[in-house]
Amino acid sequence: MTPDPPDPTDPPDLPAPLDRVRQVLAAAHRTEWARVLAATVRVTRDLDLAQECCQDAYARALQTWPASGIPASPGGWLTTVARNRAKDVLQRESRFRRVMPQLVVDDPVEDPAADPNGSPAEVPVDDRLALIFICCHPTLSGDAQVALSLRLLCGLSTAEVASAFLVTESTMAARITRAKKKISGARIPFRVPSDRDLPERVAVVLDVLHLVFSTGHTAPIGDQLVRNDLLDNAIGLTRQLRELLPDQPEVAALLALMLLIDARRDSRLTPAGELVLLPDQDRSRWDRGKIDEGARLLAAALAGSSPGTFAVQAAIAAVHAEAACWDDTDWAEIVGLYDLLRARWPSPVVELNRAVAIGMRDGPQAGLDALQPLLDESTIATYSYLSAARADFLRRLHRWTEAADAYQEALALTDNAVERSFLSGRLGQVRAHR
């Protein structure tokens, strides 16, 4: 249950230790950044200026809160200060005429509360939604959508976004700048899409959030298997979207999927940082709170509506979460859910996962037979998990030479160091048997 917000009339604690201030600000950055930025954009109608004012507000809090105390509503304080800062800059530099064309805002700008320590400046729900839909506008490329979401909605620095994409900071800065210019040039409105356009636009937003989560769950390149920052930001943004669109079942389904998968986070690596596959994970380390919340969200997503793709994927994750151990996994149900998923979302990746489930239900030879048609699919031929799945079935059939070749192929297609280490270990094992 979400706790009640703090009463803004409560007196602050005086004084506030610097460590405590940093802790509160870090939490406010995770949970309030999008709200503060959305409110400030309505004043500036300029994404760059709004970001600068929000950053100034957080910097000012770090300077003043240790002496003045932490306000009862940190998010409200930050929103008020950022908006007041924006008004000051606009008035001083006479930028209204220059920035007005950059973002179309239908409603007049409302003055925020004058007292930074007083009541929080309320941010209309539509403002936060509008910011999400701007970041995920279909005129932007997929990479630009994800980059803007991380930069504007999550508040990550350009360097942090560049790290997520494994590109240089200058490359990412140019990419983000181009995306903002496209938003400005196309006069993309700062508002929530109409009821007619909302379903299609929500689907794009959900795809972006799912991509951010997937990238955090298994980093495609680098020394880390898991990017905790991306996982936490993806879950946090999806929570916000669920709060803003409580009647959209696929929003609930995506959040359910994320939580059910993320519940395993602490069990996916050994203390030495080695990969632990699902059959070998210590399920006592799975986060039962996330599993229970995910199950409730999934039930809400399935109530009275035909399940969408995220709901079916969440149902598959729920089957794994409900199994007390690997041997108790209901593979027949999982195969049935993949049959349902591929009818809604035909995809070589879905076919691959279904083939693996068939191999778990009916044996490794059946799995190999199900994988065979995918070997001629150009869109998945260089997908490392296809080679790894074949290698595992061949290993279980004691076809050591073929298994070694498949593991070698998977290694050549894998750029994540943790996964490469695991595959190298398996390759050594089958070579020893051979």
User: Using one digit for the tens of pLDDT, what is the confidence trace for 71-129?
Assistant: 888 989 999 999 999 998 888 766 555 555 455 555 544 444 444 444 445 555 567 77
Distance CA 276, CA 223 (A): 16
Residue 77's closest CA among 91, 89, 63? Answer: 63
Is 429 inside a domain boundary? yes
Distance CA 310, CA 203 (A): 10
pLDDT at 27 exceeding the cut of 90:
no
DSSP conformational letter for 111: P
Q: Per-residue confidence at 43, pLDDT binned at 50, 70, 90? A: confident
Among 8-12, 29-33, 360-364, where is mean pLDDT lowest? 8-12
| Percent of all residues in the chain with a pLDDT value above 90, rounded to a whole number | 45
Alpha-helical runs (H) found in 69-168: 74-93, 96-99, 125-135, 142-148, 158-165
pLDDT at 95: 55
Distance CA 371, CA 380 (A): 11
pLDDT at 105: 55
Which tokens is 338 given? 């993949």
Tell me, yes or no, whether 131 and 240 share the same domain.
yes
pLDDT at 111: 45
Q: Which domain holds residue 300?
A: 246-329
Residue 213's closest CA among 259, 251, 178? Answer: 259
Is 250 inside a domain boundary? yes
Tell me, yes or no, whether 138 and 70 share the same domain.
no
The pTM of this model reads: 0.77
Distance CA 232, CA 350 (A): 25
Taking the CA of residue 261 as centre, how many other CA atoms within 13 Å lie in the half-sphere pointing to its CB? 22
| Residue 210 and residue 253 in contact, taking contact as beta carbons nearer than 8 Å | no
pLDDT at 125: 58
Among 310, 329, 348, residue at a domain's last position: 329
Q: Per-residue confidence at 130, pLDDT binned at 50, 70, 90? A: confident
Is 361 inside a domain boundary? no
Among 314, 329, 344, residue at a domain's last position: 329
The residue among 331 and 161 whose pLDDT is bigger is 331
Is 353 inside a domain boundary? no
Q: What does pLDDT average to over the chain?
A: 85
Tell me, yes or no, whether 56 and 142 share the same domain.
no
Tell me, yes or no, whether 167 and 222 share the same domain.
yes
Is 319 inside a domain boundary? yes
Domain count, the chain: 4
Is 288 inside a domain boundary? yes
Distance CA 149, CA 131 (A): 9
CA 54 centroid distance within chain: 22
Amino acid at 162: A
Among 258-267, 317-326, 371-380, where is mean pLDDT lowest? 371-380
Mean pLDDT along residues 412-434:
94
Tell me, yes or no, whether 149 and 236 share the same domain.
yes
Tell me, yes or no, whether 240 and 250 share the same domain.
no
| Percent of all residues in the chain with a pLDDT value above 70, rounded to a whole number | 88
Q: 432 φ, ψ to 5°?
A: -65, -40
